[in-house]
Amino acid sequence: MPTSILLRNSGRRAIALSLVVGLMVMGLGWYFWVRGQMILREELRTQLQNTAGIASLLINPEVVLLLVVLLSIVVIALIQWDSVQRRMASAAYISDERSGLLQLTLHRLGTPLTIFKWSLESLGDCAVGKDCPIEEVHDHIRQMQQGIGSMEGIIKQLLEVEKVEDGMVTNNPQPTPVCRVIEATVQEVANEIKGRKQTISIEECQEATASIDPEILRGVLRELLHNASTFSPEGSEIRISSMGRRSHIVIAVKDRGCGVPASEQHRMFQKFGRASNAHLSDPNGAGLGLYICRHVIELAGGKIDLESEEGNGTTVTFSIPANERRETGG
């Protein structure tokens, strides 16, 4: 039987068992509560007639036992309810993971495979004697190379997600000149997006030194600039800025792309989180890039957030710790 079905069935059995136990506990609680009310009323009528009534009521073994039982039932009921909620959350998490992986397989891996199949069939026809212009052969080869690149990208992201979730990503903080890293990364990404006729401008960059692993900073900048390019129209401008503070440095990447609907912005940093309009610019996206960025930025002691307006672009802002000794001249 498939693992997913076993997990689903075991999860349902656990939830059903917890609900049954919870109902039993509630039934016992109701019984003891009614019984307790009867005992307490009788004791109050008989014991409060003398001056030591309340004291004798509190030391009555049957009353004390009843109160202990009632308290125990309440505690057990709360534990069972918490257990049910945890199991339901776990089942929902597994369902979301399965759905995300299914979409990933269908789109990011399914599309390149379709291209391979079609191109190989066409090249096969050429191999058995069909007259094929050399330009057509080159076009098929180029499409297959792009498909391979797409598959390599998603495999790399999945491996990175696994490293992040297993705690295998490390932050080795060192004094890192932020503007120098920004300039180098902008140059690197600008060479990659020449075909889209976009420009990346450094709007403002205050000289500051961060306390962060430079590889983490470069990786986050690459991902944010790549996203900004992917979701922005041809010929548009992407802006990046950096402002130093005493304890932290704030970096922002701003684009003029499709933007994210307000109701969906809260899940952009979640695993497989993608806006409903993302397929218009990137039909094969996985929704893993910002998820990885959030984890590594938090690992480095920073925070990341975004502001967006559908149709008017997105600004992703993140903060990282400043190298305070350097900034204060110590």
Question: In 3-state terms, what secondary structure has residue 322?
Answer: strand
What is the predicted pLDDT for the residue at 181? Answer: 95
Cα angle: 130, vertex 132, 134; to 5 degrees:
150
Give CA–CA dist 59/178, Å, rounded: 71
Statement: residue 81 has pLDDT above 80:
no
The rounded distance, in Å, linking the Cα atoms of 206 and 178 is 9
Q: Count other Cβ atoms within 10 Å, centred on residue 312.
A: 11
Beta partners for residue 306, in sequence order: 316
Task: Name the pLDDT band for 45 (thresholds 50, 70, 90).
Answer: low
Tell me the β-bridge partners of 318. Answer: 251, 304
Number of neighbours of residue 108 by Cβ within 10 angstroms: 22
pLDDT, the chain, mean: 75
- Taking only the tens place, the pLDDT of each residue in 275-317 is 776 666 665 666 788 988 999 999 999 999 999 998 889 999 9
Centre a 10 Å sphere on the Cβ of residue 41 and count the other Cβ atoms it contains: 10
- pLDDT tens per residue, range 86-142: 665 555 555 555 555 555 555 566 667 777 777 778 878 777 777 778 888 888 788
Tell me what pLDDT residue 224 has: 95
DSSP bridge partners of 212: 174
Nearest to 282 by CA among 150, 186, 135: 150
For residue 254, the model assigns a pLDDT of 96
- Can you give the pLDDT at residue 60? 56
Instruction: Answer yes or no: is pLDDT of 71 > 80.
Output: no
Question: In the prediction, which pLDDT does 22 show?
Answer: 58
| Confidence band for 325, pLDDT divided at 50, 70 and 90 | low
Q: Cα–Cα–Cα angle for 181, 185, 188, nearest 5°?
A: 145
Cβ proximity of 275 and 260 under 8 Å:
yes
* Tokens representing residue 310 in the block: 């559908």
Q: What is the pLDDT of residue 83?
A: 61
CB 133 within 8 A of CB 260: no
Banded pLDDT at 185 (limits 50, 70, 90): very high
| Per-residue three-class SS string for 251-314 | EEEECCCCCCCHHHHHHCCCCCCCCCCHHHCCCCCCCCHHHHHHHHHHHCCCEEEEEECCCCCE
210-262 confidence digits (pLDDT tens): 999 999 999 999 999 998 998 888 889 999 999 988 899 999 999 998 888 88
